[in-house]
Chains A and B, each alone.
Chain A
Amino acid sequence: MAGDVDAFETAAREVNAEVTRTTAGEFDAAMEDVLVDPAVGTPLPYHGVSLPGWVETDPSPSDLAAAATGVTSAGLGVVESGSVVVESTAAGEDPTSLFPERHVAVLAASDLVADVSAAVEHLAAVAGEGRDAVIETGPSATADMGALVYGAHGPRAVHVVVIEDR
């Protein structure tokens, strides 16, 4: 629903995430705009959509440490808060979204839910299967050094790419 995507985009920008809206057909071009080389990534589960070939999808820890961008899918987007839910698999969504300075989260518009409570319902099922997940809202931040700074331990920038026809 376009209304949901609008609201999500507004909320995400409010928490200092960037948002790009695209379609499956234009996905490759969108990726070229948002990915900064070197990039590491995990496979995307959306029909007809895949990462550019130059993205390292089987990264070693040193690849992770050297990467400028980590790109993963997002299991859910939360309209009210502009958050994305990153679910962990053995492919490494967790470290990929955490170690590089820039996290690109690819989200299908059909995976938007209204609010945190709806996300929690979903996460209860994820946890029940023994899987880890994180509700990520904007970049990593700290105020511990006397002023607000992004990029504390995690990414300094978060960019959500919404595929509107998925």
Chain B
Amino acid sequence: MSSREQKAAEIRRLLATEGEAVSENARGFNRGREEATAELDDYDELKATARARKEDAIERLPELIEQVRESVEARGGNVYLAEDEADANAYVREVADGADVETAVKSKSMTTEEIELNEALGAAGVDVWETDLGEFVLQVAEEAPSHLVGPAIHRDRESIAELFEAHFDPGESLETADDLTRFARTFLGERIADADLGLTGANFVAAEEGTLVLVTSEGNARKTVTATDVHVAVAGAEKLLPSVADLGPFLELIARSATGQSLTSYLTFLTPPGSAPTVDFEGDEMGAPGDREFHLVLLDNGRFEMREDEQLRETLYCIRCGACANACANFQQVGGHAFGGETYTGGIAGGWEAGVHGLDSAAEFNDLCTGCTRCVPACPVGIDVPWINTVVRDRVERGADPSRFDFLVDGLAPDAESGGSLQKRLFGNVGTLAKVASMTAPVSNWLVQSTLGKWALARLGVDPRRDLPQFRRRTLRDWFESRGRTRVANPEREVVLYPDVYTDYADVERGKAAVRALEAVGVGVRIPSLPESGRAPLSQGMIATAEQAAERVLDGLEPHLDAGRDVVVVEPSDLAMFRRDYDRLVPERVDRLAANSYEVLEYLHGVLANGADLDALADLDGERLAFHPHCQARTLELAAHTEWVLEERGADVETTTAECCGMAGSFGYKQEYYELSVAVGEALSAELPEDRRVVASGTSCLDQLADLGRSPRHPVELLASAG
């Protein structure tokens, strides 16, 4: 099997075995987050404060490490800064040796998974028991976590019951979640009573007080510490904050972002050795708080390099709430066993894995981030997760061996990249390819749909089950020129309609409709020849090529901006380039374009709200519509404009909640991801009632919905009258 086929087979397996449980849980968490954060009046302010505090803490990290060392040591505890996995494990082993530890109990900690502490202690003869019930299930099943917060969300009740019955032979039937919980509580209660060493992580570490803050629901972290005499906490160095007083916004946000709870059951503040007595079940004695030995292991393992890395540094602000995973349409279908690396899962795993385990681990799943951006508004600390994944993709590809087939793409591909997979370069150069295909249409269309064409494309990883876009010989600009350009004489407002690749070469009708609708409300239109926005190469991790494209687009648009013309964009993913991504690519030039570019329905809304005649647009009275906004349009909060215009014209509009259509640019065309893409699309399709006409604004969404048997239209096509 080729690696593409292997990947496809693994995704198929996970869709079939774990997809349902993952989907129910991740989507439930995602809904919970949306509801819980909507209730916060000061949500944006809390996020901004949390972000600023993380930025500051990472900036001051060396100083905070010294400070926490002083505060912990002043109370008799120890702080060890571990360079890497081996160093951390060796230290904990030494502590265990010194205290003659036979059994350790552990509360949930991703950081100890990162260093594989259980294995290291096991090799030294120490039994480690996971006390978090989700982690306990994984320990028994010998599986890896599939989610940052709910490590066992890929398993449902029945499968856990089967697992326990097979493994423990409990002598009673364990049927309900209650039975299973009680069984695990009793079993682990005995382990906790026996244990000599308590292992925890920390969600936050306050340097000034030497305080660990643990966010849990079960109470196992507290028991782990209370019932043992030696406490070792292992935390990534990035968990440090200056003081307990800084925690407010994080505690307000973390559970809401994670699952939609306002707070978890226990927010535990431990300042070791603390003020609680030790509880010795074996000797049936209570001990004094001072009896507890404490070690804080702060882990570097690549974090200091991440801190120096301008692009990956943001990863260190992550509070591991899992919201980016829950908001991800791909994750919702396959979970962290596909969308994850050695330890971490979901979108931000790209940054974590690249930083702590290296690019190879990140490369395994990097493609699953399609750049849809739905995680961006979900992240409580405002991390641009898709950007991190783009950077990782760029690094993975540039590091890749230049392929021996490069010449195939090289001829057509004027990109600025060296190396990289042919599949990525094919999709990254779609602008040039579309131009050639259009010039040679319909022969090119026939060629790619032919057996030979499909075979050739399959070699490049294009799935033969997809219909490729039909390129049109007569482009939008050809049509526009041939009708004598704009038909509004002496317009008060004049705009540049950006001829994106798809609208210009393939979906020409929606471009014509955009022109007609704008003209109908009195707006003059120009369609100059402009280069591709850079979206396609950016989505393939070709940052240098995308940068070049951005410069060229700005060269073309700046004279129009100088002349006071706004820029209207049909394709939402290109508008997202102008408003979001150009800020990364051409930060010094982008402001004016970002402020003066609009999605076409957004622009119509603006003109209509300023008094233009609504009746100039088609009457939609009696139309029942199901509207799927493009993922990036959702993130830019554009959906409401479309709804407003359609409703003002009399339509009854129902908007979907699915985060993404699953096509996501080129993603759904790729052989290895075709089935996942269809699974995501079907989840969307389930939300579209048969008796409603489907409207969608993105090219990808339109293609995906067409492939799923719906006949979607762009909203502007409904609003423009023919002519």
Query: B88: CB under 8 A from chain A?
Result: no
Query: B274: CB under 8 A from chain A?
Result: yes
For A33-47 the 0/1 string (1 means CB < 8 A from B) is: 000000000000000
Given contacts A61-B281, A146-B177, contact A132 B271 (CB under 8 A): yes
Query: A140: CB under 8 A from chain B?
Result: yes
In the complex, are the beta carbons of B269 and A127 less than 8 A apart? yes
In the bound complex, CA of A87 to CA of B268 (Å): 10
In the complex, are the beta carbons of A123 and B277 less than 8 A apart? no
In the bound complex, CA of A154 to CA of B185 (Å): 9
For B136-152 the 0/1 string (1 means CB < 8 A from A) is: 11000000000000101
Stretch touching chain A among B244-252, B546-554, B617-625: B244-252
In the bound complex, CA of A153 to CA of B181 (Å): 9
Q: Which residue of A lies closest to B189 (CB)?
A: A153
Given the complex, which residues of A lie within 8 Å of B245, measured CB to CB? 120-121, 124
Given contacts A120-B251, A142-B133, contact A152 B280 (CB under 8 A): no
In the complex, are the beta carbons of A149 and B252 less than 8 A apart? no
Residues of A109-153 contacting chain B, CB below 8 A: 116-117, 120-121, 123-124, 126-128, 130-149, 151-153
In the complex, are the beta carbons of A126 and B266 less than 8 A apart? no
A-B pair number, CB within 8 angstroms: 185
Given contacts A61-B279, A132-B270, A141-B217, contact A98 B244 (CB under 8 A): no
Given the complex, which residues of B lie within 8 Å of A135, measured CB to CB? 251, 263, 266-267, 269
Query: B156: CB under 8 A from chain A?
Result: yes
Q: Which residue of A lies closest to B74 (CB)?
A: A130
In the complex, are the beta carbons of B269 and A95 less than 8 A apart? no
Minimum distance in angstroms from B641 CB to a CB of chain A: 35
Q: Which of A15, A134, A144, A154 contacts B133 (CB 8 A)?
A: A144
Given the complex, which residues of A lie within 8 Å of B285, measured CB to CB? 60-61
Given the complex, which residues of A lie within 8 Å of B152, measured CB to CB? 144
Given the complex, which residues of A lie within 8 Å of B177, measured CB to CB? 145-149
Residues of B269-290 contacting chain A, CB below 8 A: 269-271, 274-277, 279-281, 284-286, 288-289
Minimum distance in angstroms from A33 CB to a CB of chain B: 24
In the bound complex, CA of A64 to CA of B177 (Å): 26
Given contacts A90-B289, A153-B223, contact A145 B180 (CB under 8 A): yes
In the complex, are the beta carbons of A117 and B217 less than 8 A apart? no
**Interface bin, chain B:** 35 or more
For A89-116 the 0/1 string (1 means CB < 8 A from B) is: 1101111001100000000000000001
Residues of A36-68 contacting chain B, CB below 8 A: 59-62, 64-65
In the complex, are the beta carbons of B217 and A142 less than 8 A apart? yes
Given the complex, which residues of B lie within 8 Å of A15, measured CB to CB? 262-263
Given contacts A124-B209, A145-B157, contact A151 B185 (CB under 8 A): yes
In the complex, are the beta carbons of B132 and A131 less than 8 A apart? no
Given the complex, which residues of A lie within 8 Å of B249, measured CB to CB? 117
In the bound complex, CA of A135 to CA of B265 (Å): 8
In the bound complex, CA of A131 to CA of B211 (Å): 9
What residues of chain B have their CB less than 8 Å away from a CB belonging to chain A?
Answer: 75, 131-134, 136-137, 150, 152, 155-158, 160, 176-178, 180-182, 184-185, 188-189, 206, 208-209, 211, 217-220, 222-223, 226, 243-245, 247-249, 251-252, 259, 262-271, 274-277, 279-281, 284-286, 288-289
